[in-house]
Amino acid sequence: MILIIESFPYTVSLLGGDDFLELLRKYLARFVYTDTLPFDARVLNMICLVGFFSAVISFFLHAIEQSNLFTMGIKVAMVVSIVLLIVISNRFNLHTQGKWVTVTGFCFIFFPLIFLQNGGLHSGISAYFVLSMSVIFLLMTGKTRIVLLALFIITTFICYYVDMVHPQYIYPLSDRQQYIDSAGAYLITGFFIGPVSVMLRKLYMLEEKKADAASSAKGDFLAQMSHEMRTPMNAIIGTAAISKSATDLEEYRSYMLRIEDASKHLLGVINDILDMSKIEAGKLELLEEPFVFGDMVASVVGIHRFRLDEKHHHLEVHIDKRIPRVFYGDRQRLAQIIANLLSNAVKFTPDEGSITISATLLDNWEAPEDENIVPVSDETCIILIDITDTGIGISEEQQSRLFRSFEQANNSTSREYGGTGLGLAISQRIARAMGGDVTVESRLGEGSCFSVIVRLRPAADDVLPVSHESDEQRARKDMTGLFANRTALLVDDLKINCEIAAALLEPTGLDLIFASNGQEAVEAFAAEPDAFDLILMDIQMPGMDGYEATRRIRKMDNPHARRVPIIAMTANVFKEDVDKSLESGMDAHLGKPLNIDEVVKTIQDALDKQGG
Ligand code: ADP
């Protein structure tokens, strides 16, 4: 008899093998294998579920005996509290609290009560002891686990002490009751430890597989990125090499255009990677500036006009008349989403196809549940922008993977058409940061429709800057001779960078004096502070870097040193880099590669600010 009882845990452990697991998984998978719950929560659910069945079994065992109504009451209370625990912790996301309730309930309430009510040392208490220890081990980690184990062992000792010194507090069991209680205890423990260990192993394997998949996706992604960057790089280096032997200017020009194209493509790839890493690190920041919605759409279309004409695409643009003219928001990021989708539509639609962009004002929109969708205030308009094409379409299987970062829809398409596979992931994350989403409907061979939803705060017309010209137009129009009679100190360790900046700025008439590191810059400025109207400062340089040089210049005992505009001109383009430049005392930040319009505008603003 004893042997049978003792072997219960093992029997149930064996039962807890695959067949039993299948059964459990089928009905209980929702609680345990679901990805939407954190790992901890799934372990908690699993323990609670097994605890639930164990309590039911033990209730029936005691019902057979019918000797101890109090113990039966405890079991009923256990069943009810376990059910409540699962429901409450899942519904209100209280898994951490749930863990504590389970541990406290099992080890510090249930265990002593069972001990006192079931004949103390003469019952199946050793099985309950193992059960309680396992609960602490499974649910707690680190120091908490050690402290709780120690407390539990102290509790056990107190119980044993009571049994030995004050046996009158222990409810005595008959031999028959002892057997039944031991059977119940071992059954419960076996039932608990068997399935839980098997399920835990499966859970760990599942997590491991997920981590493997993530790291292999990252590996594939890096390989793909390397390929994406090498392709334009190859075009640049190769074309530069052949261009050396060009004989006439026209041929030379065509090589240069090819290099420019490849470089722009390369910059696009780098920007995508940068955007994605910003998004992954939760550092995507959106501006809140007024912009004209229609102009934004028109400028995106303008950029793609050449490709559209080249492929003889028929393009239609509809903008709902009810959409307000001006919104507050991040014009550039919204334009980036539309540009991504439009360039995909152009890329994946054969010649003579049609593409439609339609923007509609929605009255309401049921946002799907997603942590990345940022809730926005109710005063926003919900704008739906559909970009529909008659292109090659996307299969359902591909659609499910389209928006994942580090994964591409179809490796063979990407090889044929190029692209990083990040565009859609980035677009969707930006749209979600704007309180909306990007979704797709598509049929293979018939075409695709990408729908963007964003929530934007409408603005009155008069919040726009007075000049209706765009910044770029303004910068370009007045560039010639704009900075004549002005002198700038250009600090950069690379000669090629100095040459590029000089060539770009030449039309503006800005006089440049060069310094090749921070130390030289400080010395040049100290020698003749009033000679410089402006400093253009690289950051990473051998010897003294740009931050330090700026700090030293700002500290000089000269009023002009504190006011002279210093603009960072650097390939460090992360927000932290910009913040660091500003902290060191610079006035503005320009990212490399330089965009001449931006350079001119930034210099102009800095000079205006200093003058005003
Ligand atoms: P990429 O920069 O490579 O284009 P995206 O994330 O923008 O990356 O797109 C990922 C993939 O989705 C593309 O490689 C392509 O297979 C598919 N795709 C995107 N847009 C379309 C479209 N309009 N028609 C067909 N396939 C598309």
Same fold across 289-463 and 478-610: no
Residue nearest to atom 4 of ligand 1 (CA): 419
Amino acid, res. 88 = I
Q: What is the pLDDT of residues 77-99, one digit of tens each?
A: 777 887 787 778 777 777 788 88
User: 100-104, 455-459, 462-466: which range is least confident on average?
Assistant: 462-466
How far, in Å, from the CA of 304 to the mean position of ligand 1?
16
pTM of the model: 0.57
Q: What is the pLDDT of residues 355-387, one digit of tens each?
A: 999 999 998 888 787 777 777 777 889 999 999
Looking at residues 306-335, what average pLDDT do you find? 92
Q: What is the pLDDT of residue 520?
A: 94
389 lines ligand 1 (CB under 6 A): yes
Query: For ligand 1, what atom is nearest to the CA of residue 447?
Result: 24
Percent of the chain with pLDDT over 70: 87
Q: What is the pLDDT of residues 16-57, one digit of tens each?
A: 555 555 555 555 555 665 666 677 777 777 777 777 777 777
Q: What is the pLDDT of residue 452?
A: 96
Looking at residues 458-483, what average pLDDT do you find? 68
User: 34-43, 71-80, 439-448, 454-463: which range is least confident on average?
Assistant: 34-43
290 lines ligand 1 (CB under 6 A): no
Instruction: Answer whether residue 6 shows pLDDT above 80.
Output: no
Q: What is the pLDDT of residue 118?
A: 74
51 lines ligand 1 (CB under 6 A): no
- Considering only residues 121 and 10, tell me which one the structure prediction assigns the higher pLDDT: 121
Residue 314: which residues within 8 A CB-CB, separation 6 or more?
A: 352, 353, 354, 355
Name the architecture of domain 289-463. Answer: 2-Layer Sandwich (3.30)
Q: What is the pLDDT of residues 475-499, one digit of tens each?
A: 556 688 889 889 999 999 888 888 8
Looking at residues 202-221, what average pLDDT do you find? 78
Residue nearest to atom 21 of ligand 1 (CA): 344
Q: How far apart are CA 1 and CA 33, in angstroms?
A: 38
For the domain covering 478-610, report its CATH number: 3.40.50.2300
Query: Using an 8 Å Cβ cutoff, are 274 and 422 in contact?
Result: no
- Considering only residues 575 and 520, tell me which one the structure prediction assigns the higher pLDDT: 520
Residue nearest to atom 8 of ligand 1 (CA): 421
Q: Which of 7-16, 18-27, 573-582 has the highest mean pLDDT?
A: 573-582
Looking at residues 154-160, what average pLDDT do you find? 92
Residue nearest to atom 7 of ligand 1 (CA): 423
Probe residue for ligand 1, chosen from 272, 338, 412, 424 as the CB with the greatest number of ligand atoms within 8 Å? 424
Q: Kindly provide the b/e burial profile for residues 185-204, where b requires at least 16 CB atoms within 10 angstroms of the residue's own CB.
A: bbbbbbbbbbbbebbbeebe
Percent of the chain with pLDDT over 90: 31
Query: For ligand 1, what atom is nearest to the CA of residue 421?
Result: 8
- Considering only residues 346 and 43, tell me which one the structure prediction assigns the higher pLDDT: 346
Q: What is the pLDDT of residue 207?
A: 78
424 lines ligand 1 (CB under 6 A): yes
Instruction: Answer whether residue 255 shows pLDDT above 70.
Output: yes
3 state SS of 36: coil
How far, in Å, from the CA of 409 to the mean position of ligand 1?
7
User: 10-14, 66-70, 319-323: which range is least confident on average?
Assistant: 10-14
Residue nearest to atom 10 of ligand 1 (CA): 421
Query: Using an 8 Å Cβ cutoff, are 388 and 410 in contact?
Result: no
- Considering only residues 33 and 132, tell me which one the structure prediction assigns the higher pLDDT: 132
Q: How far apart are CA 550 and CA 567, in angstroms?
A: 10
Q: Kindly provide the b/e burial profile for residues 448-479, where b requires at least 16 CB atoms within 10 angstroms of the residue's own CB.
A: bbbbbbbbbebbeeeeeeeeeeeeeebbeeeb
Q: What is the pLDDT of residue 397?
A: 83
Q: What is the pLDDT of residue 9?
A: 45
Rg (Cα) of the chain, in Å, rounded?
A: 35
How far, in Å, from the CA of 271 to the mean position of ligand 1?
17
How far, in Å, from the CA of 312 to the mean position of ligand 1?
20
Q: Kindly provide the b/e burial profile for residues 161-176, where b requires at least 16 CB atoms within 10 angstroms of the residue's own CB.
A: ebbeeeeeebbebeee
How far, in Å, from the CA of 294 to the mean position of ligand 1?
25
82 lines ligand 1 (CB under 6 A): no
Instruction: Answer whether residue 350 shows pLDDT above 90.
Output: yes
Q: What is the pLDDT of residue 13?
A: 52
340 lines ligand 1 (CB under 6 A): yes
Chain mean pLDDT for the chain? 82
Instruction: Answer whether residue 200 shows pLDDT above 80.
Output: no
Instruction: Answer whether residue 1 shows pLDDT above 50.
Output: no
Instruction: Answer whether residue 4 shows pLDDT above 50.
Output: no
348 lines ligand 1 (CB under 6 A): yes
How far, in Å, from the CA of 333 to the mean position of ligand 1?
19
Q: Kindly provide the b/e burial profile for residues 228-241, where b requires at least 16 CB atoms within 10 angstroms of the residue's own CB.
A: bbeebeebbeebee
Q: How far apart are CA 378 and CA 364, in angstroms?
A: 10
pLDDT band at residue 5 under the 50/70/90 scheme = very low
Q: What is the pLDDT of residue 120?
A: 79
409 lines ligand 1 (CB under 6 A): yes
Q: What is the pLDDT of residues 389-428, one digit of tens each?
A: 999 999 888 888 888 765 554 555 544 555 667 889 899 9
Q: Would you list the domain boundaries of the chain?
A: 2-212, 289-463, 478-610
Q: What is the pLDDT of residue 15?
A: 52
Q: Which of 173-187, 373-387, 512-526 has the highest mean pLDDT?
A: 512-526
How far, in Å, from the CA of 344 to the mean position of ligand 1?
6
Q: What is the pLDDT of residues 554-572, one digit of tens each?
A: 999 888 999 999 999 988 8
391 lines ligand 1 (CB under 6 A): yes
